Amino acid sequence: MKAGIRISGFGGQGIILSGVIVGKAAVFDGFNVVQTQSYGPEARGGFTRSEVVISDEEIDYPKVESATVSIIMSQEAFFKYALRTKKEGIIIYDPELIPDHKIEGNFKLAEVNATRIASELGTKIISNIVMLGAFNEVCNLISKDAMIESIKDSIPKMLDLNLNAFEVGRKKVKIIT
Amino acid sequence: MTNEFIKLLGKKNLFIQGDEAAVYGALIANCRFFAGYPITPATEVAEGMAIWMPKLGGVYIQMEDEIASIAAVIGASCTGVKSMTATSGPGFSLMQECIGYACMAEIPCVIVNVQRGGPSTGQPTEAAQGDVMQAMWGTHGDHQIIALAPKSVQETLDLTIEAFNLSEDYRVPVILLMDAEIGHMREKVVLPEITDIKVEDRVPATIGIDKYRPYGTGFTRSSKVPEFAPFGSGYKTYVTGLTHDKRGFPVTTSAEVHEELVRRLIEKVSDDIDIIWYYEDSFLEDAEVIVVSYGTTSRPAASAVKMARKNGIKVGHVRLITIWPFNYEKMKDLLKNAHTIIVPEMNLGQMIHPIREIVNRDAKIISAPKIGGAIHTPYEILKIIEGSKN
């Protein structure tokens, strides 16, 4: 098994932390994992992406070329990365952040209003965890237990709020195609 | 046997960044002094040291700049404490003068350089391998340093321990040449078993205080590395960047003293090249084409070589782990049967120069440079391998 997950958006959305949580969860599930990240010098704003390669074999090339799963949290990132998803791969996105999400091709699309759901739960900053809930629901890559374990291990504050965001993301994700 | 840091950390399986792995490796090797000036992409090394040093009774100090940082590291090491700094291109340039001082005064220290795009402040968050020649020749005058290039987070941890061991054994600055890709990459890391950890310490002075000469050798063994007496131990020591005699006192106009000293500084390392030159090879038996790589670039190179083998191309791979000193004899032997050598690097061609020196004239040498931040893809290297068949 080998899979590449690409999470993209802008600085401040927790894109890199999401990659770390997915990566660590995959380690808990016993996989070899490489997580990489790319961002500009800004503290907030600016283009950000994080990539996770998961394999049961040794991983040479650490980057994702065509993603098995794309998790996308900004319009710019959607234009840039949606098409760099594998055939029959999954694209998970927040439709309110990405009004223009028309895409041609053989992909499985899943929507979750992560930013709005996060605001309703109390704070926008947990929108990345809502996305991860959606990711865990629609993909069979990583076990739910490992994801929860990884969230607990990676987020020191407001743990209950984050675990709740994860659950709500799992429930509210809509598979479009 | 116990290791204070491993005991304190309390877990063995980790998912950490390359920068953190350099911190953990240093602390396992009993590094207890860190002075630095945080710089992207090496900031996480300073962060990690700031968190851990106080817990281990060590010292973390943020200096006013990189010149002061390396100077503080050298000073701390003079007292017998294993010391490290971490930086990236712009800071590494500032450190060059003091790296030469550490070579001349034979003060063990480890310098982590997490390379980013240059020259100057260049691309702070993007990876490069542009400091390869600078690592060897950045400081002036004839000298020899040791430089190691890890390809993964696990290897960063292992090689940081090794960097300290080599630095202590040879009393020479050792440069851990990482890059932004490995520095910020997270991977699964397993801490070594305590019984597998080898931690070396500089050979202490054992001779009577009245007979000790800080740069005399052979008092207790035959090596070209002098025994070390830390400041404050009662032994009389004297440290200078000027050419000095065995007492450590400046002798600046004697050709004889200068030649004996500078040759010894180089030979103490180069005499042991076969011991300290680490490398890996694969598929060399029948290889007509050989890819030579180091650091991060080795990963797409390994993928490309495996793909090309599947396509029936007789291609092999040599990965340099110790990049300085360069083992000319051994490399000549490894590459002797190839008609084409391919050298992918994240610079416009640096390590290709010593390789060009040793490859026989009939062989074709192809530089595969890539700059700007993205690492080579396996397909880019595969294309060059395929193109080199005839």
Q: Per CATH, which fold does A2-175 belong to?
A: Pyruvate-ferredoxin Oxidoreductase; domain 3 (3.40.920)
Question: A2, A56, A63, A153: which to substitute to probe chain B, counting the most B Cβ within 10 Å?
Answer: A63
Which of B14, B19, B188 to mutate to probe the A interface, most A CBs <10 Å? B188
Residue span of the structural domain in which B350 resides: 281-387
Decide: B318 and B284 in contact? Cβ < 8 Å: yes
pLDDT of residue B177: 98
Across the range B244-261, mean pLDDT stands at: 97
Q: Taking a C-beta distance cutoff of 8 angstroms, is the pair A76, A47 a contact?
A: yes
Of B151, B180, B196, the residue at which a domain comes to its end is B196
Burial class (CB in 10 A: 0-12, 13-18, 19+), A71: buried
B168–A contact, CB cutoff 8 A: no
CB nearest to A32's CB, from B13, B188, B302 = B188
The pLDDT score that the predictor gives to residue B390 is 56
pLDDT at residue B245 in the model: 96
CA angle at B6 for the pair B3 and B7, rounded to the nearest 5°: 80
The model's pLDDT over B319-340, given as tens digits with 9 standing for 90+, comes to 999 999 999 999 999 999 999 9
Residues from chain B contacting residue A41 (CB–CB below 8 Å):
40, 124-125
- Residue pair A148/A28 in contact (Cβ under 8 Å)? The answer is no
Q: Is residue B249 part of a domain?
A: no
Do B172 and B309 fall into the same domain?
no
> Do B378 and A35 make contact, defined as CB atoms within 8 angstroms?
no
pLDDT at A39: 80
Picking from B196, B229, B248, the residue at the C-terminal end of a domain is B196
pLDDT over threshold 90, residue B221: no
- pLDDT-based confidence at residue A40 (cuts at 50, 70, 90): confident
Say how far apart CA B364 and CA B354 lie, in whole Å: 14
pLDDT band at B266 (very low <50, low <70, confident <90, very high): very high
pLDDT tens digits, A63-105: 999 999 999 999 999 999 999 999 999 999 999 999 999 999 9
Asked if residue B360 has pLDDT above 80, the reply is no
Pick the range with the lowest mean pLDDT from B80-84, B148-152, B191-195.
Answer: B191-195
Mean pLDDT of all residues in B77-97:
98
Q: Residue ranges of the domains in chain A?
A: 2-175
> What's the number of domains chain B is made of?
2
Asked, for residue B207, whether it belongs to a domain, the answer is no
Query: What number is the average pLDDT over the span B203-227?
Result: 87
**Residue B289: predicted pLDDT:** 97
Average pLDDT over chain B, rounded to an integer:
96
State yes or no: pLDDT of B300 exceeds 60: yes
Which CATH number covers residue B341?
3.40.50.920
Query: B196: buried, middle or exposed (CB in 10 Å: 19+, 13-18, 0-12)?
Result: exposed
Task: For residue B263, give Cα distances in angstroms to A98, B103, B129, B140, B326.
Answer: 66, 12, 29, 15, 17
- Region for residue A130 given its phi and psi (left: phi exceeds 0; alpha: psi -120 to 50; beta: otherwise): alpha
Residues of A within 8 A of B15 (CB-CB) are 20, 23-24, 27, 33, 35
* B164 occurs within a structural domain: yes
Indicate if B46 and B174 belong to the same structural domain. Answer: yes
Residue B23 lies in a domain: yes
Residue with tokens 């374990």: A149
- Among residues B178, B196, B214, which one ends one of the domains? B196
Instruction: Based on the fold, state whether residues B167 and B310 are members of the same structural domain.
Output: no
- Please check whether residues B41 and B178 belong to one and the same domain: yes
Tell me the pLDDT tens digit for each residue of A6-17: 999 998 899 999
Contact check, Cβ <8 Å, A60/B40 = no
Which pLDDT value is given to residue A42?
67
What pLDDT shows up at residue B24? 98
B80: Cα within 13 Å, side-chain hemisphere = 13
